[in-house]
Structure 1
Amino acid sequence: MLDDNELLKKGIIMTIAYAFVMSLTALAAKQAQTMIAVSTLVFWQSLFCALILLPQMRGRWQKRSFAVWKIHFLRSFGGFIGFLFYYWALNHIPLVEASLLRSCAPLCVPFVVWMLHRIRIPKTRWLPLIIGFIGVAFVIQPTPDHLNPWHLVGFVSALGLALSMVTTRMLSQQVSGQETLFVYFFVSTILSLPLLWLQGESLVLPVEVWPLVAAVTVTLYVGMYLYNLAYTYAPASIVSPVSYVGVVFSGFWGWVIWGHVPDIYAILGMLFIFSSILISTRMARNRG
């Protein structure tokens, strides 16, 4: 049996692997969106992942209460919004900036908890939150001369991810991880259809985009699997700051493929946001 140090090492390795694999998902998604609409990509990635998970659900189905299904839907809706707005942002801002804004999800978690449970944010949490949102301001640069609305779209993806994080935690004591993911991908597939209809987009995938959609699907599924393993081996206080390395991977791909080099404001934003997440996770660990 592995001791705590070995489990911690495995958790860190799994977290880094998760961050790397999800950077490949973003890379493939950004390339695929040059040929198909975002809603089309979300539909197919969700459908394929649901089909991969379907055999794993054999013999696992159980009757659930309305309260559990309500949380399932909130988690699925949050995940759907998170990916949809993240992919939209990828079309218009550098990969590293979109990933950076999405990584702000832990900053949004206290506000989601307040909305769902009316639990007030402790005074001790305001310092890291303020530091984190200063970092967000550095990235977005909300002045009339610099404000890019697509940065705000990227930040909405963080809100969606935060909702999925909170509700996943709520579901973790009641349902299996496979059930949570399957319901999420199934609901995401359904939610994509009216969006496709409203935008007048086609479900048909050009032959040349199939390898990219396959890459998105496989890396997304593997990333989710590694994410679950990371939380199995290590506490959130370790996983959350280590997963921030994904921003570095995204920055590398953006530099190598598109020649995007973060400016001084984006770099300052990274430092502030990472510091905020690190302070928050240390506070959580000390309370534990």
Structure 2
Amino acid sequence: MLDNHELLKKGIIMTIAYAFVMSLTALAAKQAQTLIAVSTLVFWQSLFCTLILLPQMRGRWQRRPFSVWRIHFLRSFGGFLGFLCYYWSLNHIPLVEASLLRTCAPLCVPFVVLMLHKIKVPKERWVPLVIGFIGVAFIIQPTPDHLNPWHIVGFISAIGLALSMVTTRMLSQQVSGQETLFVYFLVSTILSLPLVFIQGDSVVLPAEVWPLVAVVTITLYVGMYLYNLAYTYAPASIVSPVSYVGVVFSGFWGWAVWGHVPDVYAILGMLFIFSSILISTRMARSKG
């Protein structure tokens, strides 16, 4: 039996591994999108992950009330919206900036909770939220001369991720993790297919894209597996700030592959957002 120190250590290692693997997902996705549409990539990654999870669901299905299926759909839609907007933003802004905006999901969680549960944001939480959104402003630079709409799309990915985080927590007490992921990938497959045809693209992948789609699928599945392990070993107050190391990995890939170097505003935004997440998780830990 592992003691708390060993569990915490394992949780941190799993979180760092998750962040690294997901940075590879983003790297492969950005490369793949030079050859196929975003909706096509989302369709194939979702379909493949659905097929990987299908055998794991054998004998696990149970009858669920409508209230559970409603949460399933909200979680699936949030995850679908998050990945779709994240991938779209990767086409137009540096990898590190898209990753930074996606890591703003914890800032959006209180507002998702407000919409779903009518629970107001506690007064003490406004300080880290304001700090975090100052960081977002540094990245987006919302002035007529600098505003890039794709930064807004990148931030919408954080809103989608926040919705999936809140609803995953709601589902965790009622269904298995495999069921949550299976339903998510299945719904994502269904939602992305019409977008493929709306965009005038084809579901048939060119031969040169298959290796990139395979990397996206495998790393995405492994990343989510590591993510679940991280939360098994360590509390969210540890996992959330440690997972921010993924921004560092994304910054490295952006520099190594495309020569992108974060400007002073992106660096300031990074510091503000990380500080906000750190303050929030410390508040959560002190209350726990």
TM-score tier after normalising by the smaller chain length: over 0.9
Alignment deviations for residues 229-257 of structure 1 (CA, whole Å, 9 cap, x no partner) = 00000000000000000000000000000
Residue in 1 that maps onto 2:84: 84
Matched, 1:104 2:75: no
* CA distance in structure 2 between the aligned counterparts of 1:244 and 1:218, rounded to whole angstroms: 21
Distance 2:201 2:187 in 1: 19
Secondary structure at the aligned position of 1:60 is classed as coil
**Match of 1:26?**
26
- Alignment correspondent of 2:204: 204
Identify the residue that residue 249 of structure 2 maps to in structure 1: 249
Q: Cα distance, 1:195 vs. partner? A: 1.1
Code of the aligned partner of 1:65: P
1:194 corresponds to which residue? 194
User: Is residue 2:42 matched to residue 1:42?
Assistant: yes
Which runs of 5 or more residues in structure 1 are unaligned? none
1:274 matched to 2:274? The reply is: yes
Which residue of structure 2 lines up, in the alignment, with residue 226 of structure 1? Answer: 226
> SS where residue 64 of structure 2 aligns?
coil
Q: CA deviation at 1:213?
A: 0.1
Matches within 5 A, 1:26-175: 26-175=26-175
Aligned partners of 1:195, 1:246: CA distance in 2, in Å? 29
In structure 2, the residue corresponding to 1:145 is in which secondary structure? coil
- 1:1-38 alpha-carbon deviations (Å, 9 max, x no partner): 00000000000000000000000000000000000000
Taking the aligned partners of 1:86 and 1:193, their CA distance within structure 2 comes to 18
* Residue of structure 2 equivalent to 1:180: 180
Q: What amino acid maps onto 1:178 in structure 2?
A: Q
Q: How far did residue 149 of structure 1 move?
A: 0.4
In 2, Cα distance between equivalents of 1:243 and 1:193: 31
Aligned to 1:213: 213
Q: How far apart are residue 194 of structure 1 and its match? A: 1.4
Could you tell me how far apart the structure 2 residues matched to 1:101 and 1:120 are?
Answer: 24
Q: Deviations over 1:14-73 (max 9, x none)?
A: 000000000000000000000000000000000000000000001100000000000000
Give the TM-score of the pair, scaled to structure 1. 1.00
Letter in 2 for 1:130: V
CA distance in 2, matches of 1:247, 1:103: 8
SS at match of 2:97: helix
Distance 2:197 2:70 in 1: 25
The structural deviation recorded for 1:199 is: 1.2
- Residue 148 of structure 1 aligns with an amino acid whose one-letter code is N
Deviation at 1:198, TM superposition (A): 1.4
Work out the number of aligned pairs and report it: 288
State the alpha-carbon separation in 2 of the partners of residues 63 and 215 from structure 1. Answer: 34
Which stretches of structure 1, 4 residues or more, deviate above 6 A after TM superposition?
A: none
Q: TM-score of the superposition, structure 2-length normalised?
A: 1.00
Deviations 1:198-241 (A, max 9, x none): 11111000000000000000000000000000000000000000
The letter of the residue matching 2:151 is H
Q: For residues 193 and 13 of structure 1, what CA distance do their matches in structure 2 show?
A: 36
SS for the counterpart of 1:119 is coil
CA distance in 1, matches of 2:62, 2:26: 34
Please give the per-residue CA displacement for 1:73-127, whole angstroms capped at 9, x wherever unaligned: 0000000000000000000000000000000000000000000010000000000
Percent identity between the two aligned chains: 87
1:73 and 1:118 map into 2 onto residues whose CA distance is: 19
Counterpart for residue 287 of structure 2: 287
Aligned mates of 1:86, 1:10 — CA distance in 2? 29
